Structure 1
């Protein structure tokens, strides 16, 4: 696909035109989800009203005094916008590199795509958890604390206090699904395992394993993004309700980029350097072992005395 055709199709997906009634098209699962992943979405056709519509059974009225829900409403589009931002950045990389003969280059787009896309997932889990706590009756306090990463403890003066207690987003997501929908995800399921693998890739760039240099391919980025989306679409298929409105629209954007992309690899600049000979590197600590790591003057001095 040439750059002009790509831009036309991409912009049409990002900013769809309303129909003759002035309504924007509803989100709907793209065929790949059924044909390739064998997921079922009969609930889309069985419902008489569209999810998100004012008369749908899952659309609620919020009283004016529920400030907690008001704050969550103001932030309700943030997960979808973070997903979209990452997809836009990936699309930019495709356009920029359309005419490049070399199909690899420096790290530029792919790490921020990965970090931003995962931020969309974490934001969804956080917002959905807060909404669960604010709207349900009888949710056990330990569950609410777990979802909010809080812990109650007794201080030395006998007072009950709270402190932050980090919980993995994967664990919080599993608890959210169990207590929000009455469904515990099977951790051995391929979709859950793909989500676990996606988190590992995100963790690599968040807490970079500096001792393990690696490149990152466009196909890996696409697989990462699909794995994150399937982590929300698979439960939607099982539960027969969309756990995050907008996720199928985001997947449609991903599907287009997956079909349009041409392979490209990003890598650290020095990754392919041959380091089998002596070379120079920057290191400005105190207490350097100068016998093993001399600077240029010290190296020349060694050579002049014949000690190296």
Structure 2
């Protein structure tokens, strides 16, 4: 078998002389036998060359298979090294971060740590969604959006994770859109950050967008603690003012109960066409002041919120 690494030199068949190719007019029985021998010799040469080429192809295929196997082994080894390096690096990072957070808890008072947490980059306006494309429920829709790593105890330690989670609940604005108000009870009792906290004891800001279909759920707002600042938004999700005509009248009984219970409530009224909306926010004392309904009708129909303050005081 020839060496596949050496170049192969194809040997040409011997040239025929005039004696090997006699003319037909001079052909004799001896000449015919000579031609037969020459043809056999050329056939044997061709068969030999084909066999050599096949052997060389087999050798190359064997070498290619060996190289492919070596490549797979090297690739697998490289992937293993990358995984081990990444795992080792993550372990080092987590350990270093935990040590730093532990020292911070020992050396800095809570007031200073709280100032540090203030600069963490996570969203303050939180949409309360049940799942993708829906607006009903209190689930970890946003838990992985810049919040998860900050409350990972394996990264920052138990104490820092709990403190960051508490600050996140206290300083975020939790926004309910249409159809989701029935899940307020779940929201106040279920800690999606898994720090054994009670969100209802920590949350300080809630924004509720209402339309006719969600009015029946508004009494559930009474389950929130009085200290929670509740903003009820009317008209933000409605295209034309006449779509929420009479809605405020339906809101007043719930607002009255919340006022009497000492709840911190404000009402935001939207007006104008989509794309050019404007709004004005009324405190609960203004809502029950004399002349508010006239101002409300003016805002709803004209969007004339520039003179609202004067209208309520005159």
TM-score, normalized by length of structure 2? 0.21
In proportion to residue count, which structure has more strand? 2
TM-score, normalized by length of structure 1? 0.22
In proportion to residue count, which structure has more helix? 2
Q: Which has the larger radius of gyration?
A: 2
